[in-house]
Amino acid sequence: MKKTFQLNKTLMAVVLASSSTMLLVPSISQAGVSANVGMVTNYVFRGVEQTESASALAGLDYDHDSGLYVGTWVADVENGLEYDFYAGWSGEFKGVSLGLGGTYYGYTDATFDRPYKELNLSVGFAGVTLGYDKGVHEQAGSAKDNDFYHAHISYERNNFSATYGMLDLDEDTKKDALNYLDLGYSMELAKGLDGSINYVYSVPEDSANDPTTYLILGISKSFDLM
């Protein structure tokens, strides 16, 4: 999972190999280490607001010729920091992008949230990506973790993107999953400097609550370190 200022999180991966002779080509053409720093006017993840004010973001990634990747990402949240670690593999077969990854979400202040661990799966073709994320969420004062899932379909063309997703943070309850729509546009402001604008429409699990909308502006700078 590459996390950038555009917040198109967890588009990593799915492995669907129907034959042991299937040729899988890595989607990464050259190994290297890269970094990114940025800021968004407010941080919204999978339709859930993490900050009501601006949030600073930073990430570090290593990609190998084989398609293997590993990275870390940090963001300012309402209390303390969110820090993530992720690793996996991504590749392509006849225009179909495939991959498999895992992500750990941690927090420096447990009063804000507690860790999440998840498996990230996705498959993409012609700009359309289907993704499924399955994980557990650590609960304070409980020996039992919550099972959760996130499913989404995304489409990207040129500088535009659209994502419809469903997030159920506790599969043991009977509430419907949170549903959200994220529409985005990104642009290059200068060499290595990018800007973005995202509109997010989020319908909460509890249907008694009204939907929430967010307009998010972002800016980031990327660096090739190796």
CA dist., res. 224 & res. 201, Å (int): 34
Could you tell me the end-to-end alpha-carbon distance of the chain, in angstroms, rounded to an integer? 20
Superfamily name with CATH number, domain 25-224: Inverse autotransporter, beta-domain (2.40.160.160)
Bridge-based pairing of strands 146-157 and 55-63 is unpaired
In the predicted model, is pLDDT for residue 117 greater than 60? yes
CA dist., res. 26 & res. 73, Å (int): 23
CA dist., res. 127 & res. 67, Å (int): 19
Reported pTM: 0.85
Ramachandran class of 215: left when φ > 0, alpha when ψ lies in -120 to 50, beta otherwise: beta
Q: What is the pLDDT of residues 34-83, one digit of tens each?
A: 999 999 999 999 999 999 999 999 999 999 999 999 999 999 999 999 99
Q: What is the pLDDT of residues 137-185, one digit of tens each?
A: 998 877 789 999 999 999 999 999 999 999 999 887 777 789 999 999 9
Residue with the bigger pLDDT between 21 and 105: it is 105
pLDDT of residue 207: 64
pLDDT of residue 25: 54
Q: What is the pLDDT of residues 83-100, one digit of tens each?
A: 999 999 999 999 999 999
168 within 8 A of 190, measured Cβ to Cβ: no
Supply 128's token pair: 């359309």
